[in-house]
Amino acid sequence: MRSLSVLGATGSIGASTLDLVRRQPEAWRVVALTANGNATALAELAREFKAQVAVVADEAQLPALREALAGSGIEATGGEAALVEAASRPADIVMAAIVGCAGLAPTMAAIEQGRTVALANKEALVSAGEVMTAAVARHGTTLLPVDSEHNAIFQCLSGNSHKDVRWITLTASGGPFRDWDAEQLRHATPAQAIKHPNWSMGAKISVDSATMMNKGLEFIEAYHLFPVGLDKLRIIVHPQSIIHSMVEYRDGSTLAQLGPSDMRVPIASCLAWPARMDTPLSDQLDLATIGQLTFRAPDEERFPATRLAREAARAGGGIPAVLNAANEVAVAAFLDGRIGFTRIAAMVEDVLGRYAPPPPVTLEEVHAVDARARIEAKSLMEIA
């Protein structure tokens, strides 16, 4: 029996993780489950999986959580400090799936325990890449990538040397608007943007997929996870989302990881690593039925987010954190109907042009860069 904590238990990654645990209850002991504000759902999961502790980030929801867990013997806590404490509890593996920069401190706390962290929070490496990878090295932590693209790369690199890599190619679905022209994009609605053609995801990440910023953030994440250099990383649009990424070696061999569009596949890879586990899926990979796999180059005129991310990665320091923070503000504004779809990337570029912080060396400095970038983004909206 292995012990597991899930940070972000009520989100899509957390739900998929716990679905796998539910199928093999004899193999897992759940230590901590956390959620942002859904006390009812968190309490139900904590009772089902007999967690030691349940933590709600929004302290206003703590009374509801305590009431829902009354008599269960499960500890109920709330707030950012409680999240960090829960992430620090001994566990064989921590699933770090809190969305956005809210996940930085808990993820770092898990890393500092020197165990295995399955990283589903891409913003952690985007905003605090140098700080976080230094902590991983310092504490001897095993960092397993959960994103389907990075997990695919991780699998394709297994047993091979980074020095033999010619290219790492991240595949992108292109999102729901991949065939839309510029005029259509200007009138795209939040309801259209969150309807991803291949994946079932939350609203924010679905909008990021629609703008291609999701792939840009993954490009920066790959730079930190797989130290082959920026010039050996590239993106290709693959609408079917069957090949999740590829690695080409200097001998001309290319290894690709294929699988259905189901996040339980990469999650299972992390939970079972370095072994494998059964992953019951309703949709098995059937290439004969799929028929063909197609590819195209990304269009950075219609979707400039990948260019912005590549430039941010090359600039380094605090620039990727600015990119991420500005994007979070812009996406939230779009989902609220305050800005148009094409304004998301334009707003990010405007913030990058206004604010160039020195490289952060601590998590506190990363948070400071993030906070300032959000202020700059919000001030641009007021000007507009």
Residue (of 150, 106, 148) closest to 124 by Cα position: 106
**Tokens (6 digits) for 354:** 């206004």
Q: Looking at the structure, give the CATH architecture of the domain made up of residues 316-384.
A: Orthogonal Bundle (1.10)
Average pLDDT over residues 139-152: 96
Q: For position 365, what pLDDT does the model report?
A: 95
Q: For position 383, what pLDDT does the model report?
A: 61
CB-based burial label for 169 (10 Å; 0-12, 13-18, 19+): buried
**Cα→Cα distances 123→97, 101, 119, 266, 320, Å:** 10, 6, 10, 18, 9
Q: Is residue 384 scored above 60 in pLDDT? A: no
Average pLDDT over residues 168-181: 95
- The per-residue pLDDT for range 200-233, each reduced to its tens digit, is 677 888 999 999 999 999 999 999 999 999 999 9
Name the average pLDDT for the chain. Answer: 94
User: Where does the pLDDT of residue 122 fall: very low under 50, low under 70, confident under 90, or very high at 90 and above?
Assistant: confident
The pair phi, psi for residue 265, each rounded to 5°, is: -70, -55
- The per-residue pLDDT for range 248-278, each reduced to its tens digit, is 999 999 999 999 988 999 999 999 999 999 9
Q: For position 140, what pLDDT does the model report?
A: 97
* Dihedral angle, C-alpha 75, 79, 84, 87, nearest 10 °: 40
Gap between the Cα atoms of 286 and 226, Å rounded: 30
- pTM of the predicted structure, to 2 decimals: 0.92
Q: For position 253, what pLDDT does the model report?
A: 97
Q: For position 100, what pLDDT does the model report?
A: 78
Q: For position 281, what pLDDT does the model report?
A: 84
Gap between the Cα atoms of 5 and 106, Å rounded: 11
Gap between the Cα atoms of 97 and 245, Å rounded: 21
Q: Is residue 142 scored above 80 in pLDDT? A: yes
Least confident of 257-266, 281-290, 356-365: 281-290
> Would residue 288 be called left, alpha or beta, if left means φ above 0 and alpha means ψ between -120 and 50 degrees?
alpha
Contact assessment for residue 324 and residue 126, using Cβ atoms and an 8 Å cutoff = yes
DSSP state of 189: -
Gap between the Cα atoms of 346 and 84, Å rounded: 35
DSSP state of 101: G
Residue (of 126, 119, 229) closest to 168 by Cα position: 229
- The per-residue pLDDT for range 33-88, each reduced to its tens digit, is 999 999 999 999 999 999 999 999 999 999 999 999 999 999 999 999 999 999 99
Gap between the Cα atoms of 162 and 155, Å rounded: 13
- The per-residue pLDDT for range 326-336, each reduced to its tens digit, is 999 999 999 99
User: Where does the pLDDT of residue 197 fall: very low under 50, low under 70, confident under 90, or very high at 90 and above?
Assistant: confident
Angle CA(209)–CA(128)–CA(93) in degrees, nearest 5? 85
- Residues whose CB falls within 8 Å of the CB of residue 194, separated by 6 or more in sequence, listed in order: 203, 206, 207, 210
H or E element that contains 254? strand 254-258
Enumerate the domain spans of the chain.
2-145, 147-260+267-303, 316-384
* 2-145: CATH class: alpha beta
- What b/e readout covers 217-250, taking b as 16+ CB neighbours within 10 angstroms? bbbbbbbbbbebeeebbbbbbbbbbbbbbbbbbe
Residue (of 224, 214, 205, 215) closest to 316 by Cα position: 224
Same fold, 2-145 and 316-384: no
- The per-residue pLDDT for range 88-111, each reduced to its tens digit, is 999 999 999 998 788 999 999 999
User: Where does the pLDDT of residue 371 fall: very low under 50, low under 70, confident under 90, or very high at 90 and above?
Assistant: very high
Q: For position 367, what pLDDT does the model report?
A: 93
Share of the chain above pLDDT 70, in %: 99
Helix (H/G/I), strand (E/B), else coil: 319: helix
Q: For position 121, what pLDDT does the model report?
A: 87
